[in-house]
A = this chain, B = another copy of it.
Amino acid sequence: MLKYALLGFLTYTPMTGYDLKHQFAVVAASFWHAEVSQIYLTLKKLEAERLVTSQIQPQDDHPDRRLYTITDRGRHDLRAWLSEPITELPPIKQPVLLKLFFAAPMEQAELLAQLRLLRNLHLQKVSYYRGPVLAHIRGTAQRHPHLAKDARLWEATRRFGELSHEMSLRWLDEMIAMVEERW
């Protein structure tokens, strides 16, 4: 799947692996995550599949950059993937829920401390999505008016992040209340 994330970003403009890393850190964190090593490896595979091409750009004061450009085949591949509808939801893997499910042997105070810590993490995320992420999307949209449609889609993914952390917050409030009241 990382494959399509990389192809997707390369439709905007040619980029290096390093640039793509930043895309993941800044814009894509709300829906995907990738380690740098994996990005470089996958770019190599994409080039072998002829979905991207690359040229080395020598630089004087910095290491050389390898700039990747999406090919027509790459665009076609991405487009085909977009057309495939998702017919079943991916299986859930939630470490938090796994822990909570088997938390019976824990002490009340210990569990409450963990739930409150978690609550804090989600709270931070909510303000992150409402603050810097929103600002970044609006800023980019204003600077590049031709990306107006894209910007609405970015906003859609941002909104998901906001809503989902809000939901976790509500859920944790319920859980904390439950554990406080009866354990």
Binding site for B on A (CB under 8 A): 1, 4-5, 8, 11, 28-33, 78-79, 81-83, 85-106, 110, 113-114, 117-118, 121-122, 125, 149-150, 152-154, 156-157, 159-161, 163-164, 167, 170-171, 174-175, 178, 182-183
Contact = CB atoms under 8 A, between A and B. Distances in A.
A171 B160 contact: yes
A77 to B, nearest CB: 12
A3 to B, nearest CB: 10
Contacts of A183: 149
Assembly stoichiometry (copies): 2
A contact patch SS: helix
Given A28-B101, A79-B105, A92 B4 contact: no
Contact of A171 (B8, B97, B152, B159): B159
